[in-house]
Amino acid sequence: MLECWQAIKSTRNRAIMKTIAVISQKGGAGKTTIALNLAVAAVRSGHQCAVIDIDPQASAKSWHDLRQDDAPVVVSAQASRLPEILQTAHQNGAALVIIDTAPHSESAALAAARLADLVLVACRPSLLDLKAITTTIDLAALAKTQALAVLNTVPVRGGLKGDAEQVLKSYGVETAPDDGFHRLSAMLEGRGCSESAMLKMMTECQS
């Protein structure tokens, strides 16, 4: 556990660590894909970044095992240990921590959302996903943390994105900007795509 932090050991930025929780009570919405791509984007733009994987499936950790690079650091942990691990991340100079959460686990997602500066609500732009997302939006509201929806697997063509954004807006949540980049192929090699929308979200979180 201790060695993994060596990848970001730094005395810079200690005062300004930010935390993003990626949540969705629905399984397969894209939480892990979004969390890891955001982490890679952060590393590529020079930020010390760690991912805390609180999903017992440990998908983010498995991705890191494939990766030929220590950064971003990925730590697998139980939600109850989040405060302690966030403190360790801060002490080791992390500028950004992203918490990847499990589906169907309200208490863990709520704990992560409460400790975060920004909540990203992962959602696919389908009728059933949009109906199911209200539970997650309520959870983000309960945490009293700023929330943005991230639409995932949006078809490049057609009006689905705009329609989904309108529905999310009617639920009181703005959608994060996204350029429609296909996130999957890079994931298969233990890498992540670095898209401008992800960097914009990070900038928003840091302001």
Ligand X SMILES: Nc1ncnc2c1ncn2[C@@H]1O[C@H](COP(=O)(O)OP(=O)(O)OP(=O)(O)O)[C@@H](O)[C@H]1O
Per CB under 5 A, residues contacting Mg ion are 31-32, 59
Q: How far is the CB of 34 from ligand X (least distance, A)?
A: 7
Residues 199, 41: contact at Cβ < 8 Å?
Answer: yes
Is position 29 an interface residue for ligand X (rule: CB under 6 A)?
yes
Closest to 117 in 3D by CA, of 80, 147, 91 = 147
Is position 182 an interface residue for ligand X (rule: CB under 6 A)?
yes
Spatial neighbors of 20 by CB under 8 A, at least 6 apart, are 38, 96, 97, 98, 99, 116, 117, 118, 119, 120, 201, 202, 205
CB closer to ligand X out of 13 and 59: 59
Is position 40 an interface residue for ligand X (rule: CB under 6 A)?
no
Q: How far is the CB of 22 from ligand X (least distance, A)?
A: 8
Q: How far is the CB of 184 from Mg ion (least distance, A)?
A: 14
Is position 180 an interface residue for ligand X (rule: CB under 6 A)?
no
Alpha-carbon distances, residue 85 vs 1, 45, 75, 141 (angstroms): 10, 23, 9, 24
Q: Which of residues 102-121 bind ligand X (CB under 6 A)?
A: 103
Is position 162 an interface residue for ligand X (rule: CB under 6 A)?
no
Query: What would the two tokens of residue 179 be?
Result: 């350029």
Query: 56-95 mask for ligand X (x: CB under 6 A)?
Result: -x-x------------------------------------
Q: How far is the CB of 120 from ligand X (least distance, A)?
A: 11
Say which amino acid occupies 7. A
Closest to 63 in 3D by CA, of 94, 83, 40 = 40
Is position 32 an interface residue for ligand X (rule: CB under 6 A)?
yes
Helix (H, G, I), strand (E, B) or coil at 176: coil
**Of the candidates 5, 20, 33, 176, which one interacts with ligand X according to CB under 6 A?**
33
**Of the candidates 28, 93, 180, 190, which one interacts with ligand X according to CB under 6 A?**
28
If contact means CB under 5 to 8 A according to the sort of partner, which of ligand X, Mg ion, none does residue 182 touch?
Answer: ligand X
Quickly tell me which residue has 């296909």 as its tokens: 182
Query: Cα 122–126–131 angle (5° rounding)?
Result: 75
Which residues of this protein are in contact with ligand X, per CB under 6 A? 24, 27-33, 55, 57, 59, 103, 122, 152-153, 182-184, 187
